[in-house]
Amino acid sequence: MDCVFCRIARGEIPARTVFQDEHLIAFDDIHPAAPVHVLIVPRKHISSLAGASEEDVLLLGRMLLAARDVARARGIEDKGYRVVANTGEHGGQEVFHCHLHVLGGMPLGRILPPR
Ligand code: AMP
Ligand code: ZN
């Protein structure tokens, strides 16, 4: 599969890996938007959250727990962080292999409208 995240998962493109196991790989984003910016990527090619299905329930749960573990390992758990899944055109998705961004290490501001 000629997909950048599949290629990283197969070790064909180098990445600064934070964590990996049989299901997932986590690595630093090449263009960090915050002091900590890690991507959580399943080894299985799923195009986006919109392309996920019932059979991916366990994998999606593993991705969230990996985000938690990465945040803990990078020392941003206490202050807090944000987990983002850009999805589709309006979501600003650029790489069509489902992934989570873990962002932290600075105040991120509020992206939802003020109440
Ligand atoms: P998005 O699809 O909008 O959620 O964003 C994809 C993210 O992947 C962007 O933040 C890119 O900086 C990042 N990215 C693209 N190519 C690489 C790469 N080879 N290594 C690490 N991060 C990458
Ligand atoms: Zn892929």
The Cα–Cα gap between 75 and 97 comes to: 27
**97 given a catalytic annotation:** no
pTM: 0.97
With beta carbons less than 8 A apart as the criterion, state whether 48 and 41 touch. no
Q: Domain locations in the chain?
A: 4-104
Segment 22-67, tens digit of pLDDT: 999 999 999 999 999 999 999 999 999 999 999 999 999 999 999 9
Q: Is 42 exposed, middle or buried (0-12, 13-18, 19+ CB in 10 A)?
A: buried
Q: Which of 17, 18, 25, 30 to mutate to test the pocket of ligand 1 (most atoms within 8 A of CB)?
A: 30
**By percentage, how much of the chain surpasses pLDDT 70?**
98
Helix (H) or strand (E) holding 8: helix 4-9
Tell me the two tokens of residue 89: 């055109």
- Is the CB of 14 within 6 Å of ligand 1? no
Q: Is 15's C-beta closer than 6 angstroms to any atom of ligand 1?
A: yes
- Residue 8 CA: nearest ligand 1 atom is 19
CATH number of the 4-104 domain = 3.30.428.10
